[in-house]
Amino acid sequence: MAEEVQYVPYQKCPKCNGQGSVSIPPHVAGDVGQWTSSATQYVCDVCNGSKIIPMCTANNPVIAVDA
Ligand SMILES: [Zn+2]
């Protein structure tokens, strides 16, 4: 009867797909196809290389409204 759902408060970073690095420099806009840099990998600026980020939950218990 009791359905155990493991709550994982972190998710794989959607930008670097959990790799911690991206191939586009953080300062390059998303619609730019070319940039002048010889490096091929950059630390992901979303997760800062930690590869996971705190998960956003729809049923966040922070929302508490007193009637
Ligand atoms: Zn990332």
Q: pLDDT digits over 19-58, tens only?
A: 999 988 888 888 888 888 888 899 999 999 999 998 766 6
CA of 2 to the centre of ligand 1 (A): 35
CA of 27 to the centre of ligand 1 (A): 15
Residue type, 18: G
- Average pLDDT value for residue range 8-19: 88
Please give the tally of structural domains in the chain: 1
Residue recorded with tokens 């790799």:
19
Domain residue limits at 51: 1-67
Q: Give the pLDDT score at 39.
A: 82
CA of 50 to the centre of ligand 1 (A): 7
pLDDT band at 67 (very low <50, low <70, confident <90, very high): low
C-beta separation of 20 from 49 below 8 A: yes
Q: Give the pLDDT score at 9.
A: 80
CA of 6 to the centre of ligand 1 (A): 23
Query: Can you say whether the dihedral through the CA atoms of 39, 36, 17, 60 is positive or negative?
Result: positive
CA of 25 to the centre of ligand 1 (A): 12
